Amino acid sequence: MTVELAPPPATGPSDASAAAVEVRGLSITVAQPDGTRRAIVENISFAVPRGEVLALIGESGSGKTTIALALMGFSRFGATIAADCLRVGDMDIAAMGQSALRGVRGSRIAYIAQSAAAAFNPSRTILSQVIEPLLVHGLAGREEARARAVALFRSLALPSPETIGDRYPHQVSGGQLQRLMAAMALITGPELVILDEPTTALDVTTQVEVLRAFKAAIAESGATAVYVSHDLAVVTQVSEHIVVLQNGRMVEQGDSARILTAPQSEYTRTLLAAARPAIRPTADAALDKVLTVDSIHAGYGRIVRGMPATPILADVGFTVRRGSTLGVIGESGSGKSTLARVIAGLLPAASGEVLLEGQPLPRAMAQRSREQLRRIQLVFQNADTALNPAQTVRDIIARPLAFYHGLKGAAAHARVDELLDLIRLPRALADRRSTELSGGQKQRVNLARALAAEPDVLLCDEVTSALDTVVGAAILDLIDELRRELGIATVFISHDISTVRAFCDEILVLYAGRAVERCPKAAFDGHSHHPYTRLLIDSVPDMDPTWLATRAAAAGPALAVSAIAPELCRFLPRCPVAIGGLCDSNPPPLHVDDGRAILCHRAGGPGDASR
């Protein structure tokens, strides 16, 4: 379906073959305490043909977002933008004042951020926010704006396009909200769309559908796009051109196919290697079971006869041995983070037990002893919200030292230095606040705070999802090394299947709160899988530029649950190999064979349960 968007202004360049975006000699500097200026971006040059997508890739701190925002004339406080040429269409961005820039931001230049949840006001309906750019810039009346929004909702494959705008942000899924943010950006018919890591926090199946929707909508609108990402597999699917950045400077640029198949820079080769994580050897775990999760049912609301009013987890159980790592994967809403909260005591289970070395733990954190709290530590996904911005790194790490071990003064100071050495951070950073650190440095401090307790179990909840591939790989290497050296049992929660497959000793697959498969790493690359696990594996992007176009759409809506009877297979509404008269009438049996467990009727027969 063709979407009728606002046409580009008539003042645009007359030569349709000319670059829609041109950057030459872009440098961005920030003031230093001694009065000098330091370059954070230096001598950047590139051009983007009309209607095509350029990807900016590199590690955290490489300048990707800084460069992208400069295309809107935006820079952080104290920074200065200078360029020989900074042009979008017929607009000289570097020469425009703030009043003029406000007139083009959100109209001729649109921005799609990483976090859709942060971009929407929870107290207003979705439609009122999506059409706001049209109304603010006086580009359409309310009725016309609503019609354009509905057309975009339909183009972006959103459910119930006529009415979804009447919902509030919390009433739609993360993937739907991400597409709705794209609608808000595209509704004015912009000449340039900037996409800043828009799929980083999405699970693999949702990411596929969002990428497909983004690519189709941008192509239909005729907009030019700059895509900021650290995920090379994603970049491969959406971009024609790539600029590789390191420490604010260009390393190389060229057509996507050439960059990905024949990189000229050693740094680019490093990024490509980090995007294809090597399989780590399985840990030689001791025989003792450190953590046992037994028949956990959990959710929200009033608990009646051991069942919550809003169930999330149903009959989930597993064990983790000392020094080994269990990977927990599944789509958003599958119950991964809820499971971590139950183990940590943040969310008391409705029924079932969490046992530490065979001893049952009180379900609620408030009922656990200080020693029990110490032995299970949770490393949160977002270090920005987990770390107190008013405290120094030393204060943050010293707090659990005092709480759990009674260390203060010189002893605490010395232990903080030891922990900084352990996580490979310079001791000089101890007196900085977390706001002065990079994303990777913050996540290391987040990890050090958990390690300060000297735990037996480490719960890592999406700890690398917001990090670039190189920094994320470094964090994983660090966790892997520490859990081997210290004998820590690790539960690693992620939607990144490639990372889990490379990093973990055993893998647990959750769907709609129920464990549908559990297997050792060695068996995960085999052919026999639950159909849902097969869907997850097939949804991992690869470096083939044709992958997105050739991949079939996922069957059914994400996390649909059978409405026939809750005891039936929860994947039934989406299962492409369901057996009529069996799957829709009998609960799936659990088949256990050679360390692998699959909850599926087909798993009992020969071959792949997903076929």
Locate 537 and state its tokens.
Answer: 């594996």
Q: Are 471 and 446 in contact (CB under 8 A)?
A: no
Please report the pLDDT score of residue 8 as a whole number: 34
> Is the model's pLDDT at 213 over the cut of 90?
no
Q: Do 294 and 316 touch, CB atoms closer than 8 A? A: no
Residue 380 makes CB contacts below 8 A (sequence gap 6+) with 386, 446, 461, 463
pLDDT of residue 609: 65
Q: How far apart are CA 234 and CA 397, in angstroms?
A: 36
Is residue 265 classed exposed, middle or buried when 0-12, 13-18 and 19+ CB atoms within 10 A define those classes? middle
129 pLDDT band (50/70/90 cuts)? very high
- Please, which residues bridge with residue 376 across strands? 457
* 340 membership: H or E segment, kind and range: helix 336-344
CA distance 353 to 363: 8
- Starting at the edge strand that comes first in sequence, how are the strands of the sheet with 289-304 ordered? 307-321, 289-304, 351-356, 359-360
User: DSSP letter at 484?
Assistant: H
As a whole number of angstroms, the distance between CA 156 and CA 179 comes to 7
477: tokens are 């290497």
Q: Does residue 62 contact residue 251 with C-beta atoms inside 8 Å? A: no
Whether the per-residue pLDDT at 337 is higher than 50: the answer is: yes
Look at residue 283 in the predicted model and tell me its pLDDT: 55
Average pLDDT over residues 437-455: 89
Question: In which band, very low, low, confident or very high, does the pLDDT at 554 lie, cut at 50, 70 and 90?
Answer: low
Contact in structure between 330 and 336 (CB atoms under 8 Å): yes
Task: Place 547 in a pLDDT band, splitting at 50, 70 and 90.
Answer: confident
Q: 3-state secondary structure string, 79-109?
A: EEEECCEEEECCEEHHHCCHHHHHHHECCCE
Range in 84-88, 207-211, 562-566 with the lowest mean pLDDT: 562-566
10 has a pLDDT exceeding 50: no
More confident residue, 179 or 275: 179
Q: Per the structure block, which two tokens stand in for 62?
A: 């490489």
Helix (H, G, I), strand (E, B) or coil at 606: coil
How large is the average pLDDT for residues 241-252? 93
What value, to the nearest 5°, has the Cα angle with vertex 436 and ends 113 and 249? 65
**What would you report as the CA-atom Rg of the chain, rounded to the nearest whole angstrom?**
25
Q: What domains can be seen in the chain, in order of their start residue? A: 52-67+103-275 (3.40.50.300), 289-525 (3.40.50.300), 526-611 (no CATH)
Element (H, E) at 421: helix 409-422
The answer to whether 60 touches 114, Cβ cutoff 8 Å, is no
pLDDT category of residue 553 using cuts at 50, 70 and 90: low
Residue 250 confidence class, pLDDT cut points 50, 70, 90: very high
Which pLDDT score, from 0 to 100, does residue 157 have? 78
* Residue-wise DSSP of 382-399: -HHHHS-TTSBHHHHHHH
Alpha-carbon span 457 to 321, nearest angstrom: 10
Round to whole Å and give the CA distance between 277 and 444: 20
In this model, does residue 368 exceed pLDDT 90?
yes
**Residues 408-429: pLDDT tens digits?**
999 999 999 999 988 888 999 9
Most confident of 160-174, 284-298, 457-471: 160-174
In which band, very low, low, confident or very high, does the pLDDT at 560 lie, cut at 50, 70 and 90? very low
Strands 514-520 and 596-599: antiparallel
The b/e string for 312-330 (b: 16+ C-beta within 10 A; e otherwise) is bbbebebebbbbbbbbbbb
For residue 5, pLDDT beyond 90:
no
Mean pLDDT score of the chain: 85
Min mean pLDDT across 13-17, 54-58, 447-451, 546-550 is at: 13-17
Model's pTM, two decimal places?
A: 0.72
Q: What is the pLDDT of residues 467-525, one digit of tens each?
A: 777 777 888 888 888 888 888 999 999 888 888 888 899 999 999 899 999 999 888 87
Residue 223, burial from CB neighbour count under 10 angstroms (0-12, 13-18, 19+): buried
Per mean pLDDT, which range of 202-211, 492-501, 566-575 is the poorest? Answer: 202-211
Q: Would the pLDDT of 563 be above 50?
A: no
pLDDT at residue 596 in the model: 87
Quick one: 392 exposed, middle or buried, by C-beta within 10 A (0-12, 13-18, 19+)? middle
Confidence of residue 285 (pLDDT cuts 50, 70, 90): very low
